[in-house]
Amino acid sequence: MATGSTGATPEAAAMKIVWNERQRRFETEDKQAYLQYELRNGGKVMDMVHTFVPASKRGLGLASHLTVAAFNHAQSNSLSVIPTCSYISDTFIPRNPSWKSVLYSKDVKSSI
């Protein structure tokens, strides 16, 4: 399992992240913060397209916490990841380079 500095605060780490398979999201239990993904290439590639954290919960590291949950899911299910979401490609991956091994290609904004 890859590790790195997630930037999550203790408050964010204590929040439970739920996999909502039907809506293709990883979300907080209250459903206010989420990471949206699409499956591509016959379900073998997870394209992480969007993260959202409401203003009232920003600054707690929730986007990072959601992203770690999604990457852990991808890794444990042998999925490659396309980080289309700019937060993931421009902030999360540079701060957590150990996750690069899970990426679909060298071009992190690749489109299948």
Q: Which residues are catalytic?
A: 85
Other residues' Cβ atoms within 10 Å of the Cβ of residue 63: 25
CA-closest candidate to residue 63, choices 15, 3, 20: 15
Q: How many residues does the chain have?
A: 112
Other CB atoms within 10 Å distance of the CB of residue 98: 12
